[in-house]
Amino acid sequence: MKDNPVVGDFQETVSEVLIRHRSILDCLSKYQESTARVNRSVIKTVTDCGCISIIANKKQYPPMDSLKDCAKYMDSHIKGKMCEHCREVIAEEIGKHLFYLTALCNTLDYKLEDLFELEHNRINTLGHFMLS
């Protein structure tokens, strides 16, 4: 993978500013907390603001020839369009989540760019057989 200066710089900056949560225990708990905050911000978009709704039911799809055809029958279950405020709040929470993910990578001595490359290669290799 080509060097990505944004990802590399971000990881370096996180390392410089992260003073309080250097312990793996702090990293893990802050990382988990940030995941919950991302989820909560999405939920608040539905329950507090109401700019989007979640309407879900059992997936129904006809018999298909390929997994590729399956994609057109998948639904996000999201109805409506996020307002600018909710969009900003969720982006901020995802940003914090990326911060603590990066902090976790720093603590465990992973280079974020390497992980992007590994996962990118894995996705490309598995293609439509990656059923997650």
Q: Residues in the site for Zn ion, rule: CB under 5 A?
A: 49, 51, 83, 86
Helix (H) / strand (E) containing 79: strand 78-80
Residue 13 to residue 37: CA distance in whole angstroms: 22
Cα 94 off chain centre by: 7
- Comparing CB distances to Zn ion, the nearer of 41 and 102 is 41
Minimum Å distance from CB 93 to Zn ion?
14
Q: Which is nearer to Zn ion, 78 or 83 (CB)?
A: 83
3-state SS class at 51: coil
Task: State in angstroms the smallest separation of the CB of 74 from Zn ion.
Answer: 24
Q: Which two tokens stand for residue 35?
A: 């995941």
Decide whether 54 or 83 has the Cβ nearer to Zn ion: 83
